[in-house]
A and B are shown apart, each in its own frame.
Chain A
Amino acid sequence: MDAVVVQDLVKTYGPTRALDGVSLTVPEGTVLGLLGPNGAGKTTAVRVLTTLLRPDSGSATVAGIDVLKDPAAVRRTIGLAGQYAAVDDKLTGAENLRLVGKLYHLPKQQIAARADELLARFDLVEAGGRVVKTYSGGMRRRLDLAGALVNKPRVLFLDEPTTGLDPRSRLGLWEVLEDLVADGTTLLLTTQYLEEADRLADRIVVIDRGRVIAEGTSDSLKDEVGGSVLVVRAADPPQTEQAREVLARFGEVTDLTGGELQVQGGSVDLVRKAATALAKAGVEITDLALRRPTLDDVFLQLTGHAAEDEEGAA
């Protein structure tokens, strides 16, 4: 059964089509990574699915419940951690969780126990009695996530759960999420990082400007992008032109921002051959590297524009 079914969602803000006909499904017990650059429509999609926003058209069900027809029932079933941790600075961690428990109408005697259990699970036992103002960014995110789990939701929505975190906190959060998923929770998470989707998601849906532009497993997407790429930076513009001619022998060459050249289908073998050929031709290069595909590559490949310049191109 599908835990989330989205059909043709459209939401516009004036001339901006935040969602421009998005359809997707998330099978029960799986993780969907909704991958896209800033402004792609990720938050808008999550807000529709969590009943915070009504779309202009289209439909969606969560755990079989129509989001538009019975939002109250959806709210009882889901957990949400938004893009910015929505925790109360002036309450303690424990008070934040108990308030959420009260508002979920948990039985009185369970509220404190559930809060303590979640504090323990998210490594916040010591911090639980301190006001949230004193928390680090990672701790706030963990508390926000704990709040989303108070009601043991069947479907969990996380909007960019690790954006803005340092690498260590990010890794910690990934581990927590992996545990959660192992328990069978259905998870829809949005992210700007291919690496994150790669690690956590069973399936990835790539969106850009409100439209789904690709979907599949992380392997199938990487195949589509063409696996690793070779990136070459020449010493100056004339050298770059020379390098382009040499590299064209090995595959299609694309220009990256900052004067770098990229060749699809990077492999160790290609690195060796390209380096030799460039040396033989007397091209002076300052950098030559094998790079795994990034979100930028996915976008360059799928949309023909880089993730960052979406503002100017729109």
Chain B
Amino acid sequence: MTAALSDALAVTGRNLRRIRREPEVLFFSTVQPIIFVLLFRYVFGGAIKIPGLSYVDFLMPGIFVQTTAFASTGTGVALADDLSKGIIDRFRSLPMARSAVLAGRSLSDLARILFTVLVMVVVGVAVGLRFHQGLAKAVAAIALVAFFGFAFTWISAWIGLSVKTVEAANLAGFVWLFPLTFASSAFAPVNTMPGWLQAFAKATPVTPTVDAVRALINGGPTARPLLISLCWLVAITAVFSTLAVRKYRSIS
């Protein structure tokens, strides 16, 4: 057990070191959401009226969730990279815990995602976001966003280990996240959408998570979206970590 932990931490350290060696990657991964914030806040925001809420307060929870979803794709890309460069084979030939590669990956990516979210919090506050419900709920909101990112890194890990090349992991990891995150309550109220789209938006993990984060920041009914969101995230984590671990074990 202690060996498994120290192996996972060794791999985590290696991954974080790689991230630090490429600050430009981290930098540009925050540029895209910042552009989205500016676009929605200042270009579209004026046209979207939210009853009883300023648009920036409505928008930022959606941005947080979308940003972590996009950031989670890095997990699969990194695993596919390690796989194609023979690094995973090297690890597999060492007497280390089998779980360490994936555990280390998800730990380091959780740290990376948390960093990205905190950058977005700063950006949000700069364009007018306020945490109206106090510190404890603000922390809970950020924790929920991080959990969302963590759950999605397991989907990404499974994709990356399945497709095995960086290019494919990039594409396969990304395309489906666009419709998933836009067709949700992230950028506009769901009840303004056509019926069929509302049905879709309500059936994904994105909408309840955004609603819960929004409620934790701005107030309003919290328990129901939070509960639905947590169920989703626990289920995603359970299913996709199992799939990813199984995929990892079958590598040969």
Q: Which of A78, A88, A105 contacts B87 (CB 8 A)?
A: A88
Q: Give the docked Cα–Cα distance between A78 and B92 (Å).
A: 12
Contacts of B87 in A (CB 8 A): 86, 88
Whether A250 sits at the interface, judged by CB under 8 Å, is: no
Within 8 A of B (CB), among A181-222: none
Q: Which of B18, B89, B95, B100 contacts A91 (CB 8 A)?
A: B18
Whether B53 sits at the interface, judged by CB under 8 Å, is: no
A205 CB to closest chain B CB (Å) equals 22
Contacts of A103 in B (CB 8 A): 7, 10, 91, 94-96, 100
Q: Give the docked Cα–Cα distance between A127 and B128 (Å).
A: 49
Given A50-B93, A100-B94, answer yes or no on A88-B86 (Cβ-Cβ < 8 Å).
no
Q: Give the docked Cα–Cα distance between A306 and B87 (Å).
A: 34
Report the interface size for chain B: residues with CB under 8 A from the other chain: 23
Contacts of B85 in A (CB 8 A): 84, 86, 89
Q: Give the docked Cα–Cα distance between A89 and B94 (Å).
A: 19
Contacts of A52 in B (CB 8 A): 89, 92-93, 252
Decide if B18 touches A88 in the complex (CB within 8 Å): yes
Within 8 A of A (CB), among B75-117: 85-87, 89-96, 100
Whether A170 sits at the interface, judged by CB under 8 Å, is: no
Whether A152 sits at the interface, judged by CB under 8 Å, is: no
Total A-B contacts with CB atoms under 8 angstroms apart: 67
Whether A102 sits at the interface, judged by CB under 8 Å, is: yes
Q: Give the docked Cα–Cα distance between A188 and B80 (Å).
A: 29
Contact bitstring B1-28, A, C-beta under 8 A = 1, else 0: 0010011001001100110011000000
Decide if A86 touches B17 in the complex (CB within 8 Å): no
B66 CB to closest chain A CB (Å) equals 28
Whether A75 sits at the interface, judged by CB under 8 Å, is: yes
Q: Which of A53, A86, A99, A100 contacts B252 (CB 8 A)?
A: A53
B252 CB to closest chain A CB (Å) equals 5
A48 CB to closest chain B CB (Å) equals 10
Q: Which of A54, A95, A147 contacts B90 (CB 8 A)?
A: A147
Whether A51 sits at the interface, judged by CB under 8 Å, is: yes
Decide if A72 touches B17 in the complex (CB within 8 Å): no
Q: Which of A88, A104, A131 contacts B94 (CB 8 A)?
A: A104
Contacts of A292 in B (CB 8 A): none
Decide if A99 touches B10 in the complex (CB within 8 Å): yes
Contacts of B7 in A (CB 8 A): 102-103
Q: Which of A53, A82, A104 contacts B95 (CB 8 A)?
A: A104
Decide if A90 touches B90 in the complex (CB within 8 Å): no
Binding site for B on A (CB under 8 A): 47, 50-54, 72, 75-76, 78, 80, 82, 84-86, 88-91, 95, 99-100, 102-105, 131, 147
A-B contact pairs, 23 of them (CB 8 A): A47-B252, A52-B92, A52-B252, A53-B252, A75-B94, A78-B93, A80-B90, A86-B87, A88-B14, A90-B21, A91-B17, A91-B18, A99-B10, A99-B14, A102-B6, A102-B10, A103-B7, A103-B10, A103-B94, A103-B95, A104-B96, A105-B95, A147-B90
